Structure 1
Amino acid sequence: MHTEHLTLTGASHERALEELGAYVVERGYAESEYVDALLEREASYPTGLDIPTAEFGLAIPHADPEYVSEQAVIVGFPEDTLTFQSMDDPDKTVDVDVVILLLVTETEGYTTFLSSLTKLFQDDEFVRLARERDGDALLNLITDRCLDST
């Protein structure tokens, strides 16, 4: 599985998702249709998560696997805080400083991975690395705690 991180320059969550989508298409991890599928899914099923115990927000966007060529976890650090709709209540918004894009080719094992990932969001080390914008260490933590268990 590919694990990479980048800085997002878009001023809106839609633009940030377009950047992430273009990034994975350019690398051959997804087909060009993936970008539209990602935006459509986010509009229908928002992925913003507020982590109140950490006073922190993140988003975990993804699209169906039909346009994914290679599995990847891509962490995006927006230059400025982005506003996403809340996963828990789409009528509310979440200020997001980390976007974790998930690309899966099949759904088997995905639920286990997602469960491990959401538990990790409460971890002090995860929060510290995310706030420090340490993409390499954050991806290593995700790999060690979430990917190796699936």
Structure 2
Amino acid sequence: MENQIEVREDLIFINLDCNSRDELIKYMSDQMINAGKVKDTYCNAVLERELIYPTGLNTGEIKVAIPHTDPVHVNSAGISVATLKNRVEFKNMEDPNQNIDVDLVFMLAVADPKAQVPLLVKLMGVFSDKDLLSRIKKSKTSNEIKQILEELIKE
């Protein structure tokens, strides 16, 4: 299936240590560029989009962000996930004047906008499932997170 999101262990980071949203987005973008998932323009496009359409979500105890940008910056569909050593501040998607300290980041590379909607619906399901978020947050290896996400995506 062309729009299937590929989950790769080399794009999953455990206990990532970043001091700011921009540093985090740059690091994760660089890894996706190195993996050939996205174009060199991806990082700046994500950073610019964050200023207009923030992606922090107040999902209860474990908060998440889903930075992404337009398909024009993407080579092939993918997702990069990071559990954070220290929370990183993102702006709230629902209220851009509010800051949210996030624990988990799901960076999306969406190649086909029509495929983005079902993926976001699945991810929203994850975000509303406290146990699942907790499992991802507590994962000790990228393989654990990969398995959790693959289960979800194929459902």
Letter in 2 for 1:122: S
TM-score by length of 2: 0.86
In the other structure, the counterpart of 1:77 is 83
Distance 1:125 1:139 in 2: 16
The amino acid across from 2:22 in the alignment is: E
Q: Which amino acid aligns with 2:133?
A: V
Structure 2 residue 151 is the aligned partner of structure 1 residue 144: yes
Matched letter for residue 34 of structure 2:
E
**Corresponding residue of 1:48:** 56
User: Structure 1 length as normaliser, TM-score?
Assistant: 0.89
Runs of 4+, deviation exceeding 3 Å: none
- Bigger mean CA offset, 37-46 vs 69-78: 69-78
Contact kept, 8 Å, 1:126 with 1:138, in 2: the verdict is: no
RMSD: 1.5
Gaps of 5+ in 1: none
Q: Secondary structure at the match of 1:28?
A: coil
The Cα shift of 1:144 comes to 1.7
SS of equivalent residue, structure 2 residue 38:
coil
Deviation at 1:28, TM superposition (A): 1.1
Query: Is 2:31 the partner of 1:23?
Result: yes
Indicate the SS of the match to 2:95: coil
Report if aligned partners of 1:16, 1:78 keep a CA contact under 8 Å in 2.
Answer: no
SS in 2 for 1:129: helix
Give ranges in structure 2 of 5+ residues lacking alignment.
1-5
Say if 2:62 and 2:134, in contact at 8 Å, map to a contact too. Answer: no
How far residue 139 of structure 1 moved from its aligned partner, in angstroms, is: 3.0
